[in-house]
Amino acid sequence: MTRLRVINLGLPKSGTTTLARAMKIAGLKTADYRIRRRQTQNIDLHGAFVGKLMYDGYFHSGDPLSLMQEFDAFTEVNALREGLSLWPQTDWGIIDAIRQHHPGAKFLLSYRDPKAISDSMLRWSNLGVERLPKNAIPGLPLGYGETGHERVQWIEAHHAHIRKLFAGDDGFLEYDLADKSAKDKIADFLGIDLKWWGRANKGRKPKKSGTEAA
């Protein structure tokens, strides 16, 4: 039987924490943004960013998931902290390598209205006011991303890009966070029982600095 591996290609603030909680409650060992100490006995993974581990695996062995074999689901894969700006969900090399090394892997796109994502980014820690405009990001070069217009345009382009990459692929599902049937669609797509679905995270007021995950 093919092992279920789930990779979300959505951007931060698109409901990734909600998805992570749903996957965990469903029994999948889930890596969301960063590996916590309580999740693994492998001390080399403690505190490591999922995106960094994906690139390390990709460039060292060809398999982006090789360093995270014990995990089933990956719900937020980007990293924008501690000098890192890593966005595997925008990288065809990473996506294709996962497909090649893990036949049957399931890809999700957690969709949320781009303006709502943009507004939530602005409210979350220093993500919208500092980290996005002060880092080079695929599709959002250094110096861009401070305005709502720029963020929305970048978000829309990412969604369009993923749809193009996976057009006609039955191993891909885009779901809308606002869709009341999202839970059932995800459960049917993955072939699992989702026992919980809701809102696991809420935006907060902008800060000049912070240490929260995006």
> CA separation (Å) from 47 to 42, 83, 191?
11, 15, 31
What SS3 state is found at 19? Answer: helix
- Band (125; pLDDT cuts 50, 70, 90): confident
User: Is the alpha carbon torsion for 177, 107, 62, 96 positive or negative?
Assistant: negative
Residues 142-167 as b or e (16 or more Cβ within 10 Å = b): eebbeeeebbbbbbeebbebbeeebe
What's the average model confidence in pLDDT over 137-156? 97
95 pLDDT more than 80: yes
Rounded Cα gap, residues 179 and 186, in angstroms: 11
What SS3 state is found at 118? Answer: helix
Mean pLDDT over each residue of the chain, to the nearest integer = 93
User: Per-residue pLDDT tens for 27-79?
Assistant: 999 999 999 999 999 999 999 999 999 999 999 999 999 999 999 999 999 99
pTM, full prediction: 0.91
Rounded Cα gap, residues 78 and 106, in angstroms: 18
Q: Which residues on adjacent β-strands are paired with residue 140? A: 137
Rounded Cα gap, residues 26 and 6, in angstroms: 12
Q: Phi and psi at residue 141, in whole multiples of 5°?
A: -65, 165
Identify which has the larger pLDDT, 168 or 129: 168
